[in-house]
């Protein structure tokens, strides 16, 4: 049975922030705290997208009226899964238990 690296995308809402950098830092910190006891092996990064005009990298955070929506990327290694779908279900289950009210979407699954 192969091992997989599952990459999940999540949306995190932060209230009462002053800047985009603060919002990203707070989102990563809060996600880390919620994942730490049971799923501390999940790697957390700020999401990045490609600008359609200049093709440069842009942060996936938006701050409006002191409220931010931050896109996070969560990566987890799944060992000895039967298939990509099985690895995806395992990763969503583990991360979903810790982040029960945060939407998750599978971004990529790579066989290791």
Kindly report, residue by residue over 54-93, the tens digit of the pLDDT: 888 888 888 999 999 999 999 999 999 999 999 999 999 9
pTM over 0.95: no
Distances (CA, A) of 29 to 2, 22, 32, 46: 32, 10, 5, 11
Predicted pLDDT of residue 51 = 79
Kindly report, residue by residue over 7-36, the tens digit of the pLDDT: 999 999 999 999 888 999 999 999 999 888
Task: Centre a 10 Å sphere on the Cβ of residue 22 and count the other Cβ atoms it contains.
Answer: 15
Burial state string for 77-112 with b = 16 or more CB within 10 A and e = fewer than 16 = ebeebeebeebbbbbbebbbebbeebebebeebeee
């Amino acid at each position: 049975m192969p091992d997989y690296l599952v990459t999940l995308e999540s949306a995190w809402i932060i209230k009462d922030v002053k800047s985009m950098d603060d919002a990203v830092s707070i989102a990563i910190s809060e996600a880390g705290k919620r994942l730490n006891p049971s799923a501390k092996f999940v790697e957390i990064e700020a999401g990045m997208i490609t600008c359609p005009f200049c093709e440069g990298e842009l942060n996936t955070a938006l701050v409006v009226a002191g409220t931010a929506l931050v896109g996070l990327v969560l990566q987890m290694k799944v060992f000895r899964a039967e298939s990509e779908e099985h690895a995806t279900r395992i990763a969503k289950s583990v991360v979903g238990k810790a982040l029960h009210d945060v939407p998750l979407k599978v971004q990529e699954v790579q066989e290791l």
